[in-house]
Amino acid sequence: MNAYRLRLIRLRLAGLGLLLGLALAGCGAPAPTAGPPATQVSAATPSPTASPAPPPDARAVAGAYLAAWQAGRYGEMHARLSAGGPAQSAADFEAQYRRLLDTMTAVTVTAEITAVSETGDSAQATAKVRYDTALVGVLETEIALPLVREAGEWRVVFSPALVWPELVDGRQLLMATIPTPRGNIYDRNGAPLVLEAHDAYALGVVPQELPPDDRTVPSAVGRLLETAPSLVAARYASAVPDQYFPLAEASAAEMSGALGALLNYPGVYATPYNDRFYFGNGAAAAVTGYTTFIQPEELVAFRARGYTGAERVGRVGLEAWAERALAGRPGGQLQLRDAANTFLRTIAATAPTPAQDVYATIDFELQRAAQFALGDLTGAVVVLDLDTGEVLALASTPTFSPNIFSPFNRNAVAISSVLNDPRRPLLNHASQSTYPAGSVFKIVTMAAGLGSGLFTPDSRYTCTGEWDEINDPTFQARQDWLEGGHGEITFKEGLSGSCNTYFWHVGFALFNWDPRWLSDMARAFGLGQPTRIGQIDESPGLIPDPDWKRQTLGEAWSAIDAINLSIGQGDVLVTPLQMARLAAAVGNGGTLYQPQLVREVRPPDGAPTFTFQPIISGTLPLEPEHLAAIQEAMINVTREPLGTARNRFRNFPICVAGKTGTAEDPGLFGEQDPDAWFVGYTCEQRADRPDIAVAVVVQNQGQGSDFAAPIFRRVLESYYGLPLSRYPWEQAIGVPRPEETPTPEPGVEPATPSP
């Protein structure tokens, strides 16, 4: 039995004597004697007196007891027990029943009386009982339910044999659990993301024990974390000098390689442990998720699914989505043992179902590159295969190491700092955080304008830098972000140059034509609703319309609402995942694919149980010539002098179509710096490397061209194997300039405030 994990519940039987039946004493009346004829007396007929109902018979009492058992009403069962049995409180009685059923892993109980016999004040009901168990399948047995009559009522005499007939003379049940290791998670190329029972090290430092001016630790840990040594040193610079400060986790292979020098380094503590290990120190945390122990309030539900209660289960990400596959199913052996714990027989047994492994759609190298590209900024990067919906990277910052949830990891002390971080590392900013769309929404507005027939790609409009078409003396003229405006331009040029006045003009025209048209077009592009990715949690976002405003705020939809919507402001909220999907649909010719994160699920030795297939969830309602015009305008964002991101993609060898956005974000605590967006796709059409759609958002940081566009470019450089370009705010790749904010360059689009 050493191979088994034993869960033993001893159930000792108290001697329960049956009460002897008492003979009924019949009281006879004397026989009548003959007498003189009775005198006839006229009298009122007496009213009949109701007789008390006879007490329930033994069958009815036994049936009620078993019905209460099947429904889990242990209080009712306890109320029907014989007073002659062992003294037992209702709580203890229920606990004894539940322990037995838990040992069996019984999920449901079904009982049916087959026979009842009575002898004086004693009776016995025979019942067939069926247990549907989580570990050993269906168990069927026959129990004898003894009853005695007390004070004219039938009472049940309890013993553990009422649960299983062999539980006499101190015998007990034991469920031996045969565990199965949790499955692994790999990337699309087979690189490990998560491995079960892996040798690892928790790395940390006690700052005051480090050598003066130490550079070894920041350099070595910086390579592990793919971050600048100065940022590593900054992490523990303000830590309590004489206390352990967690830094990272490393696999045994990593420690035997480049990190080996840290094993005996002064001030460095490398604590080995063996447990489920997540590679990359949080680089893929937004994808994999993490596991934690089953909580007491979850125990009943998980035991019903075959868990023992000692396991850790997936909480978010692929760990949660693939819980059934990754967990497998433990085997079980229900044993009967005597009072001395000697094995008597196996009542039932099942073999374990091996866990399955999950192969994600992400490329771990690209995933790490996307995480590295964001650096210490708060935001997200989503990369999709343009023509399938596969998620190639999904990065969220700040991130966290899922390894901190391991009880064997010394660095688990970092959990409190992660939970209390105001930037919310546990929130997936790629799919759960919602942001104002800003000018990236102009892609939708252009589609709506063209689809309405009110505008053509070459419709000309003069952007003077000021807009005041609303005939309302209380309306204050709007100012474009570019002082003096863009001059006379076409609709395509309006998108490339992100001219606000042009799009206010379009939004106002659409409002007068059909107030719902623009909102409906946004939903047709997949905004304001879940992408149905399923494998990670997501927020639906919000696309406001006349009905929403009336129902939510009790107000009518106005022209100001319409012009705010036209540039992605007002109440618009979108996720980076939605915007990447939108860009992919524009780039691939109009097909909205459901994003997916799983390429395959399969047992270690067997055929796949799940294989990725593209899922089409919609088509953009655009004429081909209108879609082509939008594509051309987005390419010109990165190529033409008018384009808002031309300076960021000058001499870039990859064909890029995109759109900048700088979205005003009032936030929860008043006005904050705008959110920076860049959304787009590649148009290389290479046979060896699929085109991709990318969405980048940087929260409360500044201009889309200043922050999001350079990050977008770095992701493409990593994808295509090009040298990395230094950011405007970096002094070297991955090393930010101290306390420096980039200065906007001419031709880039700053935030436009909403009224």
Q: What is the mean pLDDT of the chain?
A: 90
Higher pLDDT pick, 32 / 427: 427
pLDDT of residue 755: 35
Q: Mapped to the 3 state alphabet, what secondary structure does 492-540 carry?
A: HHHHHHCCHHHHHHHHHHHHHHCCCHHHHHHHHCCCCCCCCCCCCCCCC
Give a yes or no: residue 579 inside a domain: yes
Sequence-ordered strand ranges (E) for 184-255: 185-186, 192-205, 245-251
Token couple for 542 = 């919000």
pLDDT tens for each residue of 444-494: 999 999 999 999 999 999 999 999 999 888 888 889 989 888 999 999 999
Pairing mode, strands 591-593 and 598-602: unpaired
Amino acid making up residue 525: F
pLDDT of residue 745: 46
Higher pLDDT pick, 1 / 330: 330
Which residue among 579, 594, 625 closes a domain? 625
Neighbours of 658 (CB within 10 A): 32
* pLDDT above 90 (res 11): no
pLDDT of residue 472: 85
Q: Where residue 221 sits, what CATH number does that domain have? A: 3.90.1310.10
* pLDDT above 70 (res 717): yes
pLDDT tens for each residue of 731-751: 999 998 886 444 444 444 444
Helix (H) or strand (E) holding 600: strand 598-602
pLDDT of residue 561: 97
Q: Where residue 447 sits, what CATH number does that domain have? A: 3.40.710.10
* pLDDT above 60 (res 677): yes
Give the confidence band of 668 by pLDDT, cuts at 50, 70, 90.
low
Pairing mode, strands 357-360 and 185-186: parallel
* pLDDT above 50 (res 128): yes
* pLDDT above 50 (res 20): no
Sequence-ordered strand ranges (E) for 299-451: 312-314, 331-337, 343-350, 357-360, 379-385, 391-397
Give a yes or no: residue 381 inside a domain: no
pLDDT tens for each residue of 604-639: 888 999 999 999 999 999 999 999 999 999 999 999
* pLDDT above 50 (res 752): no
Q: How far apart are CA 570 and CA 436, in angstroms?
A: 8
pLDDT tens for each residue of 390-406: 999 999 999 999 999 99
- Mean local confidence (pLDDT), 371-383: 97
* pLDDT above 70 (res 686): yes
Which residue among 601, 625, 649 closes a domain? 625
Give a yes or no: residue 193 inside a domain: yes
Give the confidence band of 56 by pLDDT, cuts at 50, 70, 90.
confident
* pLDDT above 60 (res 17): no
Which residue among 252, 283, 314 closes a domain? 283
Q: How far apart are CA 281 and CA 364, in angstroms?
A: 12
pLDDT tens for each residue of 287-317: 999 999 999 999 989 988 888 889 999 999 9
pLDDT of residue 551: 97
Give a yes or no: residue 662 inside a domain: no
Longest dimension (CA), the chain: 138
Q: Which residues make beta-bridge pairs with 384? A: 391, 693
* pLDDT above 70 (res 389): yes
pLDDT tens for each residue of 522-531: 999 999 999 9
- Mean local confidence (pLDDT), 579-595: 99
Query: For the chain, how many structural domains are there in total?
Result: 2
- Mean local confidence (pLDDT), 252-267: 90
Share of the chain above pLDDT 90, in %: 82
Kindly report the backbone phi and psi dihedral angles of residue 443, in degrees, each rounded to the nearest multiple of 5, phi listed first. -60, -45
213 contact partners, CB below 8 Å, separation of at least 6: none
Give a yes or no: residue 343 inside a domain: no
Give a yes or no: residue 267 inside a domain: yes
pTM for this predicted structure: 0.86
Give a yes or no: residue 275 inside a domain: yes
Q: Give me the domain span that covers residue 494.
A: 438-625
Give a yes or no: residue 588 inside a domain: yes
pLDDT of residue 261: 86
Whether 175 contacts 46, CB under 8 Å = no
